[in-house]
Structures are given as structure tokens and as C-alpha cells.
Amino acid sequence: MLTIKEYVQSNKDRFLEELFALLRFPSISADSKYKEDIVKTANFVADKLKEAGADQVEVCPTAGNPIVYGEKIIDPSLPTVLVYGHYDVQPADPLELWDTPPFEPTVRDGKIYARGAADDKGQFYMHVKAFEYMMKNNALTCNIKFMIEGEEEVGSANLGAFVKENKERLKNDVIVISDTSMISLEQPSLETGLRGLSYVEVEVTGPNRDLHSGVYGGAVANPATILAKLIASLHDENNHITIPGFYDDVAELSEEEREALNKAPFDIEEYKADLGIDEVWGEKDYTTIERTGIRPTLEVNGIWGGYIGEGAKTVLPAKAHAKISMRLVPNQDSEKITHLFKKHFEAIAPPYVNVIVSPHHGGEPVVTPTDSIAYQAAEKALEEAFSKKPIPTRGGGSIPIVALFEKELNVKTVLLGFGLDSDNLHSPNEKYDIANYLKGIETIPLFFKYYAELSK
Ligand code: BES
Ligand code: MN
Ligand code: MN
């Protein structure tokens, strides 16, 4: 029998090769052009689960992209861990900003560069390899179920129905997800909350057609100008969001909780240098850690209208558009916030334009417990693997399924993430450090060991 450390040492080249093969699939869920690649990726994941020793492996069709399921039930009286992850990735554009092609994984300076390296292929695949170790070395201490989906990056529209229809099959005692960040290899951490999301698209319409900007400009409202003004008015001079009622349900943290949160190591100068900015920005009276962890935000994700091609065209566009997302914190509700946005945006639209607000997907915020045995097991596992006790942090991103699991299956999640905030998720040159990948594989069996022990 090998220890996990020994097993990782003697198999690390293969662990990397397999991950590279997974990363070569352009499994972009946002673009239907990649449908075939999506299916190939799901099959690849299913094969790897089988090879590692999973039973009942199935590529489950949904109305959208398939969900890969697999399990190993060693003893129904033991606790069951459900591992969730996603094999779909974000689009890779703008392609010209990648130093090496997004779907040709390349190692530079100990880091794997590829779309999906950290989000989430590199992270969920650690679980497949940790499972392989546990199977081969008689170290599986719990039942395990895998559910790896293909629509996370587009809002998991078909996952809710799958969970509802498969409650018995998915039944478990704790969900483990590696799809978040930690502070660093020197300072492990566990995210204990995720923000929710309300996503809308707005359309501002003026005249019934594009107009000559000399003939009509100055006499007819320009939808692009109006849209810019409307968007600018959504934050006040303190960078508070101006939508009436927006903050009504926001859970405020106590002074002690805020103090604890701000104890996490964070170097603002390094942060600014990494991003190439001279100053940070955000809601008055909150720190950067708080602005990204415990406060709701509103961001424009895209804005367009009029002529954006080469050269100049003098035109007064008939329409202008924007995609706007709001990150939510407990106890905000995504449907309520979407409704408040719509009402407000329609109310502030001046009479010389029409606005249409269309909701996209949403998701609810969550906090995960820190007093559960699963959290304690994760703490112990990280402490043993990293020789340092992990600290709790609040994540800025969203994984809407976590709240849904809680509602449908009544189980809590542990966010056992090994990425770094600087991994360029959703950006060009996404990367995942080999050290984090291998350390993650090493940590996971320890979690299983401690979770089984503490469950007794
Ligand atoms: N893995 C991320 C979420 C994440 C990243 C959480 C970093 C914590 C730290 C996930 O794949 C993601 O990108 N989610 C989307 C939401 C989804 C509904 C499109 C997000 O956060 O924008
Ligand atoms: Mn992810
Ligand atoms: Mn993502």
C-alpha cells in the first residue's frame, strides 16, 4: 500500500498527461458550435471515472448538455460524499491575448496554461485521481458519488430538474466542490460563502431606424448616450447601488465578524500591481476583502450599440444594449433583485427612449457552515497537507447549484478549492499551478479519512 504522497510522486506525469487530454477538448458551453466537443468531453470524463473504479457510470442526457454520473458504494452504513464539478468552460476569446493557444495546454514556470485549467477541469479531475488512489490502495473510507455537469458556466439551467428527478440516486451526507480559490500554498483557506447572481440584459430604443448623425443629431435622443447615463446613475458618489430596496435584505456582519474577515493576509499593493491599476474602487467604508466577499455589487459585463467596425461612420444608433450582473449576498433573493432592477430601470428611463429589461439566469447566495464535521474534516486535511491551519474566507464568485442542493437535497457543501484568485479564470491565459493540482490530489483522501472518522 502506498501513501497518497508516494502515489502522487510515482504517478504525477500520468496525472498531468490525463489532465492535458481533458483540457484539449474545447468544451465551451456558451457556444452551440461546440456541442460535439461537449459530448466528447462528457464521454472522456465517464471513461476516466470507470478506469478509476467507479460503478454505474452514466452520461446522462438532459435538455442541454449531459451530466456525468458515477459512484462507488462500499457500505451503505458509511457516510456518502457527493463530488460536484463542471467539465464545461468559458469561451476563450479574446484569442489574440493568449500567449499559447487555450486548448493546447502548455506548462510554463510550473503552471498549466489552458482554458479550464483551474475552472474547473483541473480542480474536479483532482477528485478523480484521488478516488483512483483510494480505490487502488484500499483507502476509500466513505461511499462516493460523482456528478460532473456541463452547463455551469451558462447558469446550470437543466441541473435543477436532474437533481429533482434523481433525489434518491444523488442522496448524500455532504457535497464537496473544488471550484473556488484558496489564498496560497503557504496559507490554505476554505471559502465559506458564495455570492448569488442576478443577470439582466437591457435594450434602449430611440428612433425607429439608425439616423444620419448630422441631419438628426442634437435633435433626437441618442440611445447610446442615454444608456451610458442610466448605467452611470446606478451607483452614487459613494459607489452604493441606487436601486431602491436593493440593500433591504443584505445581512450585515458584526464588527467582530468583519474584523476576523479582514485578518486574512491581503496585500493591497500586490493586488494593484497584479491588475495594473493605480487605485482600487468600491463601496465606501468597506475594504477590498469585504467588497468582494460580503457586499453586493453591480457590474456591466458588456455594452454595445451603433457603429463599432473599422473607420468612422456618422450615425445616431436606433438602439443600445448592455448586459448587467449583480452579485448578491445573504439574504438577498435573485428574483426579487431582478424585479427591483427592472422596476427601477424602467422608472428612470426618460420619455424620449424605450427600455426593455430581460432577465437571464440567476442564483442564490449561500454561506456554508464552519461548525460541521465536514468542515472540520476539510480543515484537518488541509492542515496536514499544507502544515498550516486553513482560514475561512468569503468567495466573490457564484456556484448557484450550492443553494439548490441545499434546498432540494437538504445537504450542505464544503468548498474545498485549490485555485488562486490570480488564475485568470474567464480571462486569457487561465492557469493552474501544478503544485496546487498535486497538493489537491494529496489533500482529498485525507478529507475522506477524517470525514469518516468524525462521522463515527
Ligand atoms: N468556479 C466559478 C465560481 C468561483 C470562482 C467561485 C472563484 C469562487 C471563486 C464558476 O465556474 C463561475 O464562474 N460561476 C459563474 C456563475 C455562473 C452562474 C455563470 C460566476 O461566478 O460568474
Ligand atoms: Mn467553476
Ligand atoms: Mn467559471
Domains and CATH numbers, the chain: 4-194+366-455 (3.40.630.10), 196-250+296-363 (3.30.70.360)
CB of 395 shorter than 6 A to ligand 1: yes
Ligand closest to Cα of 416 equals: 1
Distance 4 CA to ligand 3 centre (A): 29
CB of 365 shorter than 6 A to ligand 1: no
Distance 120 CA to ligand 3 centre (A): 7
Ligand 1 closest atom vs CA 153: 19
Ligand 1 closest atom vs CA 426: 13
CB of 196 shorter than 6 A to ligand 1: no
Distance 321 CA to ligand 3 centre (A): 24
If you take atom 5 of ligand 1, which residue's CA is the nearest one?
397
CB of 430 shorter than 6 A to ligand 1: no
* Distance from C-alpha of 101 to C-alpha of 11, rounded to nearest angstrom: 26
CB of 400 shorter than 6 A to ligand 1: yes
pLDDT confidence of residue 361: 85
If you take atom 9 of ligand 1, which residue's CA is the nearest one?
180
Q: What is the mean pLDDT of each run of 10 residues along the chain (456 residues)?
A: 96 98 98 97 98 98 98 97 98 97 98 98 98 98 98 94 96 98 96 96 98 98 98 98 98 94 94 96 98 97 96 98 98 98 98 97 93 98 97 94 94 98 96 98 98 97
Q: Candidates 119, 120, 399: which one to mutate for ligand 1, based on the most atoms within 8 Å of Cβ? A: 399
CB of 425 shorter than 6 A to ligand 1: yes
Question: Is the whole-model pTM more than 0.85?
Answer: yes
